[in-house]
Amino acid sequence: MQQIRKVAVIGAGVMGAGIAAQIANAGTPVLLLDIVKPGLADRNAVAAGAVAKMLKTEPAPFMSKDAVKLVEVGNIEDDLGKLAECDWVVEAIIERLDLKQDLYRKIDAVRRPGTAVSSNTSTIPLADLVRGMSDGFQQDFLITHFFNPPRYMRLLEVVAGPASNPQTVAAVSRFSDIALGKTIVNCNDAPGFIANRLGVYWLQVGILEAIDAGLTVEEADAVMGRPFGIPKTGVFGLIDLVGLDLMPHVNASLLGSLPNTDPFHVAQRDLPMLTRMIAEGYTGRKGKGGFYRLNRDGGGRKKEAMDLATGQYRAEQKAELPELAEAGRNLRALLSGTTPAGRYAWRVIGQTLSYAAHIIPQAAGDIEAIDAAMKLGYNWQSGPFELADKIGVDWLIAKLEADGMPVPAMLRIAAGRSFYRVENGKLQALGTDGNYADVVRAPGVLLLEDVKRASKPVLRNGSASVWDIGDGVLCFEFTSKSNSLDEALMSLYGKTIALVQQKYKALVIYNEGRNFSVGANLGLALFAVNIAAWGEIEKLVKAGQDAYRALKYAPFPVVSAPSGMALGGGCEILLHSDAIQMHAETYTGLVECGVGVIPGWGGCTEMLARWQPMLPKGPMPAAAKVFEMVSTAQVSKSAADARAMGILRKNDGITMNRDRLLADAKAKALSLVEGYTPPQPAMITLPGAAGKLAFDAAVQGFRKLGKATEHDVTVAGALATVLSGGDAEPWIPLNEEDVLALERQQFLALLHNSKTLARIEHTLETGKPLRN
């Protein structure tokens, strides 16, 4: 298959620039071109400006500084010839057919035959885009529709035309999947494809029904968010996020291309309020505000929301809806409610699920594509058909009929059944032919969710489960609340180690939670302190250290595979693994100082051991580096950043696609099996009292600058004691146990400090750090 080694992106707007950044994040050189702006000396100013702007954008489009260097900027007048060096050209210019086709002709004249060309259009059909273009161009052309922001949104809608060469489509899809980390959803060449057609319909219905029901925006979002597994931004919060001005634009485009019989037309009505808000610059978060705004008049920061009845801003009102109390567990109760909120829930969800069924088979041939599009493009926890299963298909049909709402063919097909079922441990989906078929994962995709459907855990307790993922590899999964780490979890490590030694080859530590682990169970720690169970606490700290050391020195390979946050104790697991296979979007670090303690499960020790060989000789450099990171609770902003922090080592890997993480981790573990020997314990040279003095002086400097609080100084002092090795001699290396003992001693000392306890309590209550 054709390899993609270099890519060009034409159009350096938010989408084009973001796509270029993600290609660079994948380690692939990318050419970013835009027009020459008249009157500017730098002919590449537009593209260069887009890159400069991305360096200041949060969340960051780039994963690392090295990625930035992979973007070469240029302009479409001087640099089109360079397209001949590229294997894929992504067009992301303004949504105008004439301009796009003009550009395509120029691209076609310079590209190598076989170079894929794709458009990031969200509204123009492929058939229109390729009309009149050369046969060769049509063969190499497809639509690749990214979502904003391209680094973080996992969905990529791919549309191939009748003339598209399947090999070209496969090459682009494979690169987008493996290198860019996107989940490919194949769509038909239908208006708005899947996610925007269904998503914008849902938003539009969400606005209209809220106005009709007389709900506030806060109430509407409270109903349409969490209860349905939809982000808490609901409808109005999401419109603020994507931009109010985008709505009329996408609406108009969809209305223009969808037949009059399409329900999309029904969900339309003039909204003078929206028009006025856009005209006044209330375009959402990118403008002066939207349905919600932060009123800074008079130097204040007042949260306000739009009153849908009066069209005026008023103070934000928290939604008080008793009908939501049970909503998470009983969707039918919410949907059959007779209150305005209940009616709203039903009107919006009923119409949206009905429309989801309506667009089959026009927009997509199967329910999985539509569910995937809404989960990955709109961050819904469940897709519309999964939601329909939760609600009950027959119940849904009956209620739609009762309310005189359409029941499309796909819903009728599912009558008396469900859209998904598990058969012989395999997930199956209902097809348009009325038959169930196995949900097939792409080669190289291994999901624990599938393993769990097909088997029982080989070990389990209240905090963790262990699964056989085949080929002699076990997978250790955290199952505790928020994947927090506790004594039960630690004790299961011991049993797991014994089991692997008996019957298996290797262990992978992995889970499919939103976060790998945010660290130790602080609530339990606080409870133990409050009852002054100091002996128990010391035992817990020691048990954690022992469990992690047992993993490190187990006679088989242990590979950790984090995604999302891996903080504190969650990071310490990584540090004790033989190898790490890290999802690109992993945010990891030793953050203990934020809650007033220090890493106590070997984090200090392992981080010192990692840094010591990488820095100049002597006792200070590694200790100083680790002190800087840990005292400031530094967290990586990507896997690439975790490498810069020394958490990822040379032989550790990064997986771009979340769905490929477990398979990659398993392969890494198996690659270590042959001739495996446990690591040699590190000897760590530390400075002793001189180092402590130097670290304390540095912290005093931060205190003077107002960057460190009084308790920060105390906590950093305890950390300084550990990282300087206590009363170590700078020429006598310490062994790991010496440093671990210091970790325990200083950890416990801090737990005796009331200001540390205040920090822990505050974090448990608010989820935020206390700066005392």
Q: Is 181 exposed, middle or buried (0-12, 13-18, 19+ CB in 10 A)?
A: buried
- Establish if 726 lies at the interface with other proteins (CB under 8 A): no
Which residue in 261, 704, 766, 767 binds other proteins (CB under 8 A)?
A: 704
Q: For residue 31, how many other CB atoms are within 10 A of its CB? A: 23
Selected range binding other proteins among 412-420, 446-454, 481-489, 701-709, rule: CB under 8 A = 701-709
Minimal distance, residue 761 CB to other proteins, in Å? 28
Pure H helices in 324-366: 331-335, 340-358
Continuous segment of H or E residues that includes residue 10: strand 7-10
Q: Are 747 and 600 in contact (CB under 8 A)?
A: yes
Which residue in 697, 710, 735, 737 binds other proteins (CB under 8 A)?
A: 697
Minimal distance, residue 296 CB to other proteins, in Å? 21
CB nearer to other proteins: pick between 31 and 708: 708
Query: Could you tell me which of 517, 530, 518, 589 has the C-alpha nearest to residue 758?
Result: 530
Which residues sit opposite 466 in a β-bridge? 459, 476
The first and second tokens of residue 161, run together, are: 């035309």
Minimal distance, residue 242 CB to other proteins, in Å? 35
Q: Is 110 exposed, middle or buried (0-12, 13-18, 19+ CB in 10 A)?
A: middle
CB nearer to other proteins: pick between 113 and 616: 616
- Between CA 577 and CA 548 the distance in angstroms is 9
Which residue in 127, 409, 454, 693 binds other proteins (CB under 8 A)?
A: 693
Minimal distance, residue 687 CB to other proteins, in Å? 6
Selected range binding other proteins among 125-133, 323-331, 559-567, 688-696, rule: CB under 8 A = 688-696
Which residue in 36, 178, 694, 741 binds other proteins (CB under 8 A)?
A: 694
- Between CA 409 and CA 476 the distance in angstroms is 43
Minimal distance, residue 45 CB to other proteins, in Å? 21
Selected range binding other proteins among 5-13, 46-54, 220-228, 704-712, rule: CB under 8 A = 704-712
Residues 340, 345, 348, 354, CA torsion sign:
negative
Question: Taking CB under 8 A as the rule, which mask of x and - marks residues 728-767 in contact with other proteins?
Answer: --x-------------------------------------
Q: Are 82 and 8 in contact (CB under 8 A)?
A: yes
- Between CA 710 and CA 772 the distance in angstroms is 7
CB nearer to other proteins: pick between 615 and 741: 615
CB nearer to other proteins: pick between 248 and 701: 701
Minimal distance, residue 628 CB to other proteins, in Å? 12
CB nearer to other proteins: pick between 99 and 690: 690
CB nearer to other proteins: pick between 110 and 689: 689
Minimal distance, residue 44 CB to other proteins, in Å? 23
- Between CA 91 and CA 122 the distance in angstroms is 12
Residues binding other proteins: number (CB under 8 A): 20
- Establish if 706 lies at the interface with other proteins (CB under 8 A): yes
Query: Could you tell me which of 224, 218, 223 has the C-alpha nearest to residue 324?
Result: 223
Minimal distance, residue 616 CB to other proteins, in Å? 4
Selected range binding other proteins among 214-222, 293-301, 603-611, 687-695, rule: CB under 8 A = 687-695
Question: Taking CB under 8 A as the rule, which mask of x and - marks residues 92-131 in contact with other proteins?
Answer: ----------------------------------------
Which residue in 166, 281, 618, 681 binds other proteins (CB under 8 A)?
A: 618
Q: Is 459 exposed, middle or buried (0-12, 13-18, 19+ CB in 10 A)?
A: middle
- Between CA 610 and CA 582 the distance in angstroms is 17
- Establish if 687 lies at the interface with other proteins (CB under 8 A): yes
Which residues sit opposite 474 in a β-bridge? 468, 507
Which residue in 392, 523, 621, 769 binds other proteins (CB under 8 A)?
A: 621
Query: Could you tell me which of 589, 510, 496, 471 has the C-alpha nearest to residue 547?
Result: 496
Label the pairing between strands 426-430 and 30-34: unpaired
How many CA atoms are closer than 13 Å to the CA of 273, on its beta-carbon side? Answer: 14
- Between CA 698 and CA 676 the distance in angstroms is 42
- Establish if 318 lies at the interface with other proteins (CB under 8 A): no
CB nearer to other proteins: pick between 440 and 693: 693
The first and second tokens of residue 745, run together, are: 């001693």
- Establish if 533 lies at the interface with other proteins (CB under 8 A): no
CB nearer to other proteins: pick between 154 and 711: 711
The first and second tokens of residue 330, run together, are: 């009983």
Minimal distance, residue 349 CB to other proteins, in Å? 51
Map residue 8 onto helix, strand or coil: strand
CB nearer to other proteins: pick between 181 and 725: 725
Map residue 765 onto helix, strand or coil: helix
CB nearer to other proteins: pick between 252 and 697: 697
- Establish if 562 lies at the interface with other proteins (CB under 8 A): no
Which residues sit opposite 514 in a β-bridge? none
Which residues sit opposite 440 in a β-bridge? none
Which residue in 330, 690, 754, 771 binds other proteins (CB under 8 A)?
A: 690
Query: Rounded to the nearest 5°, which phi and psi values hold at 507?
Result: -130, 135
Q: For residue 633, how many other CB atoms are within 10 A of its CB? A: 18
CB nearer to other proteins: pick between 450 and 696: 696
Query: Could you tell me which of 283, 204, 291, 202 has the C-alpha nearest to residue 251?
Result: 204
CB nearer to other proteins: pick between 676 and 702: 702
- Establish if 519 lies at the interface with other proteins (CB under 8 A): no
- Establish if 653 lies at the interface with other proteins (CB under 8 A): no
Q: Are 755 and 596 in contact (CB under 8 A)?
A: yes
SS (H, E, C) 436-481: EEECCCCCCCCCHHHHHHHCCCCEECCCEEEEECCCCEEEEEECCH
Minimal distance, residue 72 CB to other proteins, in Å? 22
Question: Taking CB under 8 A as the rule, which mask of x and - marks residues 255-294 in contact with other proteins?
Answer: ----------------------------------------
Residues in 597-616 that interact with other proteins by CB under 8 A: 615-616
Minimal distance, residue 126 CB to other proteins, in Å? 48
Minimal distance, residue 713 CB to other proteins, in Å? 14
Map residue 431 onto helix, strand or coil: coil
- Establish if 243 lies at the interface with other proteins (CB under 8 A): no
* Interface with other proteins (CB under 8 A): 615-621, 687, 689-691, 693-694, 697, 701, 704-707, 730
